[in-house]
Chain A
Amino acid sequence: MEYKEETTSIQGTWPLEQWRWKHETSVLAKKFLEALKDKKIIGLKCPGCGLVYVPPKPYCRCLSIPDEWVEVKDTAVITTYTFTGSWSFGGRLEGTGAPLVIAGVMYDGSDTQTLAILDGVDPDDVAVGKRTRVKWPENPQGGINDIMHSELI
């Protein structure tokens, strides 16, 4: 490969802040989020294969339509996990103290997994298969943030 001299770069900026996108909450999500206000986690059960989807989902992998609302527990099993290193958040967390531990969790009674931040844990204490419980806020607001934080049990 024969390298020529450098090309010319023309500097410029295109501010994207002026653009706005808007995303709607689904009908299923609304019911799911409302239940969080009562510290309840609900999902939809499939009549075809019995899988329970948390959060709810409008169709099942077996092609049936999940239609039965069920309550699951706020305890869960860890399915996978990570913790932040030097590059996480583009390196922005570097030097800010303890690493952030995030786990995939499957709530008891559910067949799907979701992510949760594990508060106050040493990464060395985390393992796939260990159990967690949701740390509910005092006044849940009906947003997914209500169940974003869990602790090891």
Chain B
Amino acid sequence: MRDVAVVGVGLSKHVSKRRDVNIAELVWEAVSAAYEDAGLTPGEVDGVITGNMPAFEGVNLPECWGAGHWGTYRKPLLRITTGGTTGGSVGHGAFYAVASGLFDTVIAIAFEKQSDGDSTAGLNTVILADIAALLGFGVDPSLLLAFGGGAVGIAVYQASSYMKSSGCTTHHLDKVSVLCRTNAAKNPHAHLQQPGLTPDDVAKTDLMQYPLRFGHVCPASDGACAMILTTGERARKLTDRPAYIRSVASCSDEGALIGIGGSGTLNVDPGRQESCKLAAARAYEHAGIKDPRNEIDLAEPYAPFAHQLLMFYERLLLCDEGEAPAVLNSGSMEMAGELPVCPSGGVISTNAIGASALERIAEAAMQIMGRAGEHQVQKDVHKAVAHGWGGMVNLNVVAVLADTPRG
């Protein structure tokens, strides 16, 4: 297996409604920035890995109308779509392409322009398989709203379960939002930038659905991310400090929208996320990391909902289960802390669905390369973990990055 490194990252500006550009132009913002960051031109890339959730925009087959616009005309192309983890899976696909020796240099592109479509309609296509199972048990379709209610309607059950098992309180949720949104204020690409936000401000926002308030939940963003990956050898010629992707791992639980599954989706506790622990353990092992708690310098967990930042910090094996609320209180997750978490502001601040999990890898790479600008953390980042979560509350993808190859 060959060494793989990130040599260029590009992000578009993320806001609720990018009415100034169409989808292809929005993506080009990120793609052109990635080429510029890498010091490469489209002609120097051998292949394209791309993904989004077409149902969110309401237009399918993006390669038909996007490939030419993104400088990827006549290149081999692979499209990957795995729900909220789409961007992570795109990053993994790009890693495999280079690690396998089949491609030397590839570009990973992930995006979502949610304002062009209807996010709830998009989510409904994701959960349609489970809805089909529910209908098979004779559920009155009008009751389905009670079980879905969009992504929040799923996350609330996970939040209640996690809070009971960990001792996480609503005050911890408020503090997570403050951590992320004040970090986001230093990230020019972030959507919700709230400098000076306090836990009291978050606690005063409307209750969406217990236990989550508006302040605990991500926005719907328009945005794109692109990342250029190449071999370790070529990376060292392009930059003094490439970010090596040491390993990737992806693992799925059974569907965990607790519902009347029965035809294949078991009603597992949505707060357990065993697949995240399995993927993390595998990724650390492949990366040559024996003691993640002491070796990992920075984490970008995928947390569109406040409780998930703590839950996935635990499931990424960075502390004991139930310990993350205390770690949050200790200040170690802050930008100047021992193990900064989501210095980018994370998904709770910026969520262009298909792009979000690629942005976790991209942000970890930028921190290792020292290119994060105002949200660059104080400590030197040698090793970082990037995570994605999605599918039917079941899929977890993990990537481990470092400033040196695996050796």
From known contacts A7-B20, A82-B157, A89-B149, infer whether A53 and B120 are also in contact, taking CB-CB under 8 Å. Answer: no
- Most chain-A CB neighbours within 10 Å: which of B120, B212, B269? B269
Q: Which residues of B contact A104 (CB under 8 A)?
A: 157, 161, 258, 267
CB distance from A133 to the nearest CB of B (A): 18
Q: How many A-B residue pairs have CB under 8 A?
A: 150
- Most chain-B CB neighbours within 10 Å: which of A26, A33, A82, A112? A82
Query: Count of B residues near A, CB < 8 Å?
Result: 53
Chain B residue with Cβ nearest A4? B20
A84: Cβ under 8 A from any B Cβ: yes
CB distance from A2 to the nearest CB of B (A): 9
Q: Which residues of A contact B209 (CB under 8 A)?
A: 82-85, 87-88
From known contacts A82-B211, A144-B139, infer whether A112 and B267 are also in contact, taking CB-CB under 8 Å. Answer: yes
Query: Count of A residues near B, CB < 8 Å?
Result: 52
A64: Cβ under 8 A from any B Cβ: no
Bound-complex Cα distance A90 to B123 (A)? 13
* A29–B262 touching, CB < 8 Å: yes
Chain B, interface SS category = loop
Task: Annotate A133-144 by CB proximity to B: 1 below 8 A, 0 otherwise.
Answer: 000000000111
- A29, A61, A114, A128: the one contacting B164 at CB < 8 Å is A128
Chain A residue with Cβ nearest B135? A23
Tell me which residues from 76 to 133 in chain A have a Cβ below 8 Å from any Cβ of chain B: 79-90, 99-100, 102, 104, 112-115, 117, 123, 128-129
* B206–A56 touching, CB < 8 Å: no
CB distance from B190 to the nearest CB of A (A): 13
B336: Cβ under 8 A from any A Cβ: no
CB distance from A53 to the nearest CB of B (A): 7
- B161, B206, B211: the one contacting A87 at CB < 8 Å is B206
From known contacts A144-B138, A144-B260, infer whether A117 and B269 are also in contact, taking CB-CB under 8 Å. Answer: no
B239: Cβ under 8 A from any A Cβ: no
Q: Which residues of A contact B132 (CB under 8 A)?
A: 21, 23
A19: Cβ under 8 A from any B Cβ: no
* B262–A32 touching, CB < 8 Å: yes
Chain A residue with Cβ nearest B258? A104
Bound-complex Cα distance A147 to B354 (A)? 37
B379: Cβ under 8 A from any A Cβ: no
Task: Annotate B320-356 by CB proximity to A: 1 below 8 A, 0 otherwise.
Answer: 0000000000000000000000000000000000000
* A88–B153 touching, CB < 8 Å: yes
Q: Which residues of A contact B206 (CB under 8 A)?
A: 85-87
B102: Cβ under 8 A from any A Cβ: no
A153: Cβ under 8 A from any B Cβ: no
A63: Cβ under 8 A from any B Cβ: no
Bound-complex Cα distance A9 to B258 (A)? 39
* A7–B19 touching, CB < 8 Å: yes
* B20–A145 touching, CB < 8 Å: no
* B258–A29 touching, CB < 8 Å: no
Q: Which residues of B contact A99 (CB under 8 A)?
A: 210
B259: Cβ under 8 A from any A Cβ: yes
Q: Which residues of B contact A148 (CB under 8 A)?
A: 139, 143
From known contacts A55-B261, A144-B138, infer whether A80 and B19 are also in contact, taking CB-CB under 8 Å. Answer: no
Q: Which residues of A contact B211 (CB under 8 A)?
A: 82
Bound-complex Cα distance A143 to B120 (A)? 27
Q: Which residues of B contact A18 (CB under 8 A)?
A: none
Given contacts A59-B264, A80-B270, 14 further A-B contacts (CB under 8 A): A25-B136, A28-B262, A55-B261, A57-B264, A79-B258, A81-B157, A82-B153, A87-B209, A99-B210, A112-B266, A114-B259, A115-B260, A144-B134, A145-B143
Q: Would you give 6 A-B contacts (Cβ < 8 Å), ordered by A?
A: A29-B136, A55-B260, A79-B258, A88-B153, A88-B208, A89-B145
* Ranked 5 nearest A-B pairs via Cβ: A143-B138, A85-B207, A55-B262, A87-B208, A82-B156
